[in-house]
């Protein structure tokens, strides 16, 4: 009777709302367009479960269910452990619980595939154990994926820190990448995160296929290289942009959108640094003063400053955010042009609004794709993870963003912030970036249309899965 039931897919997201979001959209497409049912099996450390549960619960009318695995503990880790270390350990410490869950699913459904995302490669072994097809959803750029396959070689053939390499790495068909722009865990060979990432890179080849959250017209060179290189690279499927389509529920009355309704077309800069980004007090002040100096309209999603890291909000709900940390008088002086929003805004709806003319972003890949889908040009201000690499793609490769520069102390100064904003919103360069963005927006629409390349790629994967266990 199992053959009569719809094929079932298990999805194992690594921590981070930015990882869960596109996987949820992927799940919806599999259910709605391809008649799959889906179970999310979620490794976690016990934090940030409420927002996740809320989005997942909203899916219960579709054939999408979820289970949280028992939370892992980080008590034994040093205070300065990198988020990549924690993300990786969340998964490896959950493997035996995952195995139990997969066993149950495999007995009760026609389980054809298990999908993991960027840090989930060790879970691919569990899929294989149960003769379930091991797949990967890569939530970042095709260039990023190409770099992952290149890293083991680079690791063997260099001994210095990558940031000290005199020449950029030239991956075939891609924009040159300096070592200093590599993802964070590759910046220090002595950090445990480095070893873990190299191990991870070596295991990517064990996926039966890799779906990438990007599209051919955005990164033609990288996708061609992923195909041509053959050796050790599984079939790669460009299925993106897979992004949040926006939730209408409860959003209509949102303060940001009501405020945007009252502003002129294309006049507002949206300022937000993803789900985890934070600044030092000094940097926060410079940003605030820069916004003020620019004289332009803005919505700024702010979080309490953090002295030591740039991703303080990633694993924790943060303290109550009372805005007392903003420069004296800032709110009063900018009240006619600016809206300051503590912690979270409906980003997709904001980017979709006619009044939004630019986005000052940390270059998270979801934010990048959301901007492309809505044709909004960018100021690229990367903070952590692979964001510096995304900045290079956006500024040098796609030419849809202005990149910020830090001073010798690593601070982006207020005067510069003001200049970037003016250049983007009213300058000639901004016009060029906007035009480029519009082109990518059109291309993105086409790849997602019924006969579009990304739609077809996902259909191809679905077809392969449907043929399994028949």
- Cα(92)–Cα(46) distance, rounded to whole angstroms? 15
Using the contact rule CB under 6 A, the part of the chain among 324-332, 363-371, 405-413, 444-452 near ligand UDP is 363-371
19 in catalytic set: yes
Q: Which two tokens stand for residue 357?
A: 């003319």
Catalytic residue, candidates 45, 117, 122, 184: 117
Of 141, 267, 352, 367, which lies in the binding site for ligand UDP, with binding defined by CB under 6 A? Answer: 367
Contact indicator for 190, 161 with CB cutoff of 8 Å: no
SS3 readout for 191-214: CHHHHHHHHHHHHHHHCCEEEECC
Which of 385, 415, 387 minimizes the C-alpha distance to 401?
387
Using the contact rule CB under 6 A, the part of the chain among 13-21, 58-66, 128-136, 224-232 near ligand UDP is 13-21
Query: Which residues sit opposite 78 in a β-bridge?
Result: none
Q: Does 381 bind ligand UDP (CB under 6 A)?
A: no
117 in catalytic set: yes
Residue 72: φ, ψ to 5°: -90, 165
Residues numbered 224-253 forming contacts with ligand UDP, rule: CB under 6 A:
244
Which of 212, 124, 232, 159 minimizes the C-alpha distance to 458?
212
Q: Does 366 bind ligand UDP (CB under 6 A)?
A: yes
CB of 17 to ligand UDP, least distance (A): 6
CB of 140 to ligand UDP, least distance (A): 8
- Cα(313)–Cα(463) distance, rounded to whole angstroms? 39
Of 370, 394, 413, 434, which lies in the binding site for ligand UDP, with binding defined by CB under 6 A? Answer: 370
220-228 and 142-157 are packed helices; what angle lies between their axes, rounded to 10 degrees?
A: 50
- Cα(127)–Cα(370) distance, rounded to whole angstroms? 31
Q: Does 144 bind ligand UDP (CB under 6 A)?
A: no
CB of 375 to ligand UDP, least distance (A): 16
CB of 371 to ligand UDP, least distance (A): 9
Rounded to whole angstroms, the maximal C-alpha distance in the chain is 69
Contact indicator for 118, 103 with CB cutoff of 8 Å: no
Size of the site for ligand UDP (CB under 6 A): 20
Residues numbered 285-324 forming contacts with ligand UDP, rule: CB under 6 A:
301
Query: Which residue's structure tokens are 């709900």?
Result: 317
Binding mask of the shown chain, residues 256 to 285, with x at each position contacting ligand UDP by CB under 6 A: ----------------x-xxx---------
Of 344, 403, 411, 441, which lies in the binding site for ligand UDP, with binding defined by CB under 6 A? Answer: 344
User: Residue numbers of the site for ligand UDP (CB under 6 A)?
Assistant: 16-18, 21, 244, 272, 274-276, 301, 344-348, 364-367, 370
Residues with catalytic function:
19, 117
């Amino acid at each position: 009777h199992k053959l009569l039931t719809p094929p079932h897919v298990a999805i194992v997201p690594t921590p981070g709302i930015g990882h869960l979001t596109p996987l949820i959209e992927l799940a919806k497409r599999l259910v709605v367009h391809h008649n799959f049912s889906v179970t999310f099996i979620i490794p976690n450390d016990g934090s940030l479960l409420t927002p996740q549960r809320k989005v997942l619960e909203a899916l219960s009318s579709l054939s999408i269910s979820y289970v949280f695995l028992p939370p892992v503990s980080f008590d034994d880790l040093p205070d300065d452990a990198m988020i990549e270390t924690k993300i990786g350990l969340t998964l490896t410490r959950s493997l035996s619980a995952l195995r139990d869950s997969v066993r149950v699913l495999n007995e009760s459904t026609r389980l054809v595939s298990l999908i993991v995302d960027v840090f989930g490669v060790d879970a691919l072994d569990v899929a294989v154990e149960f003769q379930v097809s091991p797949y990967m959803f890569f939530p970042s750029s095709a260039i990023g994926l190409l770099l992952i396959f290149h890293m083991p070689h680079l690791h063997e053939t260099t001994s210095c820190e990558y940031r000290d390499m005199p020449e950029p790495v030239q991956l075939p068909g891609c924009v040159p990448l300096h070592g200093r722009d590599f993802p964070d865990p590759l910046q220090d060979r002595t950090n445990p995160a480095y070893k873990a990432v190299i191990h991870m890179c070596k295991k990517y080849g064990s996926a039966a296929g890799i779906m990438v959250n990007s599209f051919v017209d955005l990164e033609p060179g990288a996708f061609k290289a992923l195909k041509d290189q053959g050796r050790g690279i599984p079939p790669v499927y460009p299925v993106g942009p897979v992004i949040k389509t926006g939730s209408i529920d409860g959003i209509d009355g949102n303060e940001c959108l009501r405020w945007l309704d009252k502003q002129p077309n294309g006049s507002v800069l949206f300022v937000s640094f993803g789900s985890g980004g934070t600044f030092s007090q000094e940097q926060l002040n410079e940003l605030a003063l820069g916004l003020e100096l620019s004289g332009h309209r803005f919505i700024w999603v702010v979080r309490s400053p953090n002295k030591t890291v740039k991703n303080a909000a990633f694993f924790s709900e943060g303290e109550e955010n009372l805005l007392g940390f903003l420069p004296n008088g800032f709110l009063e002086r900018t009240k006619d042009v600016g809206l300051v929003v503590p912690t979270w805004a409906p980003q997709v709806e904001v980017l979709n609004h006619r009044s939004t003319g630019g986005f000052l972003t940390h270059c998270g890949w979801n934010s990048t794709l959301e901007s492309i889908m809505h044709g909004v040009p960018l100021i690229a201000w990367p903070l952590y993870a692979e964001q510096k690499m995304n900045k290079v793609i956006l500024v040098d490769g796609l030419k849809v963003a202005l990149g910020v520069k830090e001073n010798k102390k690593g601070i982006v100064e207020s005067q510069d912030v003001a200049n970037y904003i003016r250049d983007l919103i009213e300058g000639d360069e901004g016009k060029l970036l906007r035009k480029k963005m519009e082109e990518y927006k059109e291309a993105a629409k086409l790849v997602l249309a019924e006969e579009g390349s990304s739609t077809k790629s996902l259909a191809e994967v679905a077809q392969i899965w449907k043929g399994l266990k028949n």
